[in-house]
Amino acid sequence: MIQLEVLELSHRHVNKRTGAITGAVAAVVAGVAILLPHANASTNTPQPPETFSSQSAAMLAASLDTDLGGRTAGWYLDTPTSHLVVNVLSNDDARRVQSQGAIAKVVRNTMPALRDGVRTLSDTASIPGTAWSIDPKTNQIVVLADRTVTGTKMATLTRATDRLAGLVSVKRTSGEFTLYDAGGRRQGSAGGNPPAAGGGSPAAGGAGGQAGGANTATGAIGGSAIFGGRAQCSLGFNVTVQGAPAFITAGHCGNESKTWAADQAGSQPLGTVADSRFPKTDFALVTYDDPTTKPSSAVDLHNGSTQQITQAVDAAVGMKVQRSGSRTGLKDGTVTGLNATVNYGNGDIVNGLIQTDVCAEPGDSGGPMFAGDAAVGLTSGGSGDCQQGGETFFQPVTAALAATGAVIGAGDAGGSGSAAGGGDANGNAAGGDNANGTGASAGSGNATGGGDANGNDASAGSSAGAGTGDAHGTDAGAGSATGATTGADGGDGQQ
């Protein structure tokens, strides 16, 4: 506080000069009174929490982490309010976050510590029937153990997690982790019988296909039934690769058969597998046999309508999503974890997955998970069913597009789609091997370079506009001006 000492002057000594001085002093006092409140205002003054979309939340989280020198520990969208919650390590950092309209949560565990914990679990607790992911809501690694984890397996898991006290919480799921293809070599008859031949996708929850012929190459869209060998899966998203029509689905489906058809008998051929990757990651690229095919970039909502898909984005914890599948139709839920590792048994371990509370069943594998017009994931597997509920894991679409060079928006001339750079929001680059963002189809696409929102080496997405890069790292490359193929590499994330 500024204190001014005013001397009492004798009336007989006051003249015009001293009167002028006294008036000037009064003016100074008045000016100080006006300026003081503003002088004390801080640039970190908390602001009322704002509402965010998943993409705008990711951009702000990236900016805040850069400003704070990487001193954040994950973020998520609060589902009921759409508020962005950012985990920080100090009250000073919390004030910075609050000044930008986000909610700050001071937590104990740093992101490097959580990542070290994930690596320790991979080394010491690789047990069939287990899964784990970094959960920013609890600031811990959440480990799920299915009903097969008992006896010696449970004892091994307990020893591993006890050494990570404070970093890990263990939960049980009543189901059993399994891949969601039906009738494949892994499942045999136990996987359930595919729908009757005839093509077409079943109605939501139904078991029978629609009357034959509807699901031709041109009509095949996300959530349609596809058949290869003994396996039934679901088409994920229609794409193009260097202008040629194709679709993406699950890698464990692509491994089941080289060729895929719209009907169980194989009389309506669709395409041939060009690239299939499973385990470690879980996606496949199938090129349409007819190069003139122009399938719609849409998802079957199983109610007589479709959802157009124009872009691909990274998942965020708290994101509301929907899933379409040929076995159980349309289901919805929320993203609950990122960078998940799932051990399905028989050496089938997949990393970099999106964890959700959406249900699914055998036959839904490869089907699309989406949020509005944005592609998010491909159904991999999980536990439970759509009667009792459960957990389902998804391959991030952005990583699949990046690795295959595919572009969302097959057959839609001048499509407006864009793709964010691959990666997850709380761990390493999604898919493990390639986090380059994929391009938008030629037209009006805007692609932000998504990247790893708390992790490593993501790249900017292509199409018009600069990439936002690693949301907990630095130096994302700018997106390409033309929107073709992949973006420029971004910088490393927080280590």
Provide the annotated active-site residues.
252, 282, 365
What is the Cα–Cα distance from 449 to 330, expressed in whole angstroms? Answer: 29
For residue 325, count CB atoms less than 10 angstroms from its CB and return exposed for 0-12, middle for 13-18, buried for 19 or more.
buried
Which amino acid, residue 293?
Answer: T
Tell me how crowded residue 100 is: count the other CB atoms within 10 A of its CB.
Answer: 18
Structure tokens, 79: 């589902």
Which residue has 């003994």 as its token pair? Answer: 230
Which residue has 């801080």 as its token pair? Answer: 42
What is the Cα–Cα distance from 468 to 458, expressed in whole angstroms? Answer: 10
179: Cα within 13 Å, side-chain hemisphere = 36
Q: What are the respective helix, strand and coil percentages of the chain, to the nearest 5?
A: 20, 30, 50
What is the Cα–Cα distance from 351 to 412, expressed in whole angstroms? Answer: 32
What is the Cα–Cα distance from 255 to 478, expressed in whole angstroms? Answer: 35
* Cα-based distances in Å from 320 to 27, 54, 111, 317, 329: 58, 9, 24, 9, 17
Q: Helix, strand, or coil here: 153?
A: helix
**Nearest Cα to Cα of residue 313 among 114, 173, 199, 453:** 453
* Cα-based distances in Å from 300 to 205, 223, 322: 13, 6, 11
What is the Cα–Cα distance from 196 to 202, expressed in whole angstroms? Answer: 10
